[in-house]
Structure 1
Amino acid sequence: MTNPLDAHTARIGRGLHRFRRLQGIKQSHMAELLGVSQGSISRWESGTHAPDAPMRARIEALIAARVDTTGDAALKRLIETSSLRIHLICDATHRLLAVSPARAQSWRADAGSYIGTSLWRYASPEIIAAEDGLAERGWFDRPFQSLRFHTGPNASATIVIGAGWMEWESIPLADGRIGRLTMAVSDIA
C-alpha cells in the first residue's frame, strides 16, 4: 500500500500540471509566479521531488477548486438537496466542496465544519489504491472520467466510510478547476 503522504505529493504535482494546462500557463511562468526555478516545477509535476510544506500550501491554495457562487450554484444546490450519499471534493486537493444530507448523516461530525478541508486523511486503503491508479487510467488528462470500485471501511470514528461500492466522477467547475463527485453506491452490511 502506498503511503498517503506520497500519494498526496503526487496529487499536488498532477494538480499543478492540470491547472497550468487548463489556464494555458507555461512552467517558466508558473515558476516566476511561485518564485522557484522551472526545474522545480518540472520535478514537482513529475513527482520526482516534493515541494516543502509552505510551498505545498501555496500550490494547494492556487490549484484548489472552489464552488463558484454563480456558475456552480445549481450543482451545489443539487448536491446539498440530494437523497443520495454524495459529496463533491476538489480533484487535486480532496478539499470538501459540498455534501448531501444523506452523506452527512453517515458521518459522525458536523459536515459543514469540514467544507474547505481535505478529506484525504479519512481515505480507506482501497481509496488510496484507487487514487494511485488514476494517472495510468488517464483520469487527469480530461474531465468527465468515472471510476467504480469496492472499498473497505476506513478507521475513522467521525468521517465514516463503510464497506461498499464507491463511484467517482470528475467534473469541470466554473473556475476551470476539476471537482470529483463521490458517491457511495451501496454498502455491505
Structure 2
Amino acid sequence: MLYTGRALKRLRLTRGIKQSHVAEFLNVTQATVSRWETGVLIPAEDQQAALEHLFGRPASTADAAIKRLVETSTARVHLICDHSHRLLAASPARRAEWWRDMLGTPMFRYASEGIQQAEGTLQDAGWYDGQTPSIVVETGPNGRDDVPIVAGGVLWERIPLADGAAGRLVTTLT
C-alpha cells in the first residue's frame, strides 16, 4: 500500500498516533512526517514498508464505531485524544461552530478559563486512573470567534481506545 499525503494523515489521526511517534518509529524527523502528510515528500520504499508495518493492521471496529457515532450525531459533540487534546472526530453540529476543519488540531489552545481550571483538577479527581469516568464541567466563554465556547456545561466522558490511549467524548449540555 502506498501511503501519501492526506491518506497518511487521516490514518495516523484515526489511530491516535502523534507525528513524533511515527517519526521515532521510522527514525526520521517530525518535519519529515509533516512533509509526507502535506505531499511535499513521498516516503521511500523502505519507509513505506515501515509505515505498512505500523499502520497495516486494521483499525479497531470499536474505535471506528465511536468515530462514526460522533460524526453522525445530531448533538454538539466531539472526541479528542485525552492526552494531546487533538481532535479525533466531531459531529456536524459541532463542526458548524468552527471556521475551518479542525481534525487533528490540538484543541486545548481554545479552552476557556473554566475548562483550563477543570483540566487541572482531573488528576486529583481520579480521572486518569478510572475512578471518575465522567465529569460535568462549567465552561465559561473563551471570547473567540474561530472556535467559540459559550458559558454553559459540557459532559466529559473518558473512553478507552484500541491502541491503549484514551479518548475524551465532549458533549454540550443544554
Is TM-score (shorter-chain normalized) higher than 0.5?
yes
One-letter amino acid matched to 1:103:
R
Which residue of structure 1 aligns with residue 89 of structure 2?
Answer: 98
Which residue of structure 1 aligns with residue 74 of structure 2?
Answer: 83
* Contiguous gaps of at least 5 residues in structure 2: 1-23, 25-29, 31-57
2-side partners of 1:163 and 1:132: how far apart?
19
Residue 170 of structure 2 aligns to a residue whose secondary structure is strand
TM-score, with length taken from structure 1: 0.59
Provide runs of 4+ in structure 1 moved above 3 Å.
Answer: none
One-letter amino acid matched to 1:77:
R
Residue 130, structure 1, aligned to residue 107, structure 2: no
Residue 155 of structure 2 aligns to a residue whose secondary structure is strand
2-side partners of 1:117 and 1:106: how far apart?
15
Which residue of structure 2 aligns with residue 50 of structure 1?
Answer: none
Paired residues, what number?
119
Residue 106 of structure 2 aligns to a residue whose secondary structure is coil
1-side partners of 2:132 and 2:64: how far apart?
19
* Contiguous gaps of at least 5 residues in structure 1: 1-32, 34-53, 55-67
Q: Which has the larger radius of gyration?
A: 2
Which residue of structure 2 aligns with residue 154 of structure 1?
Answer: 142
Q: CA deviation at 1:185?
A: 0.6
The aligned runs of 1:30-41 (5 Å cut-off) are none
Q: CA RMSD in A?
A: 2.1
TM-score, with length taken from structure 2: 0.63
One-letter amino acid matched to 2:104:
G
Larger RCO: 1 or 2 (CA < 8 Å, sep 6+): 1
Residue 167 of structure 1 aligns to a residue whose secondary structure is strand
Contact 1:166 1:183 in 2 (8 A): yes
2-side partners of 1:92 and 1:181: how far apart?
13
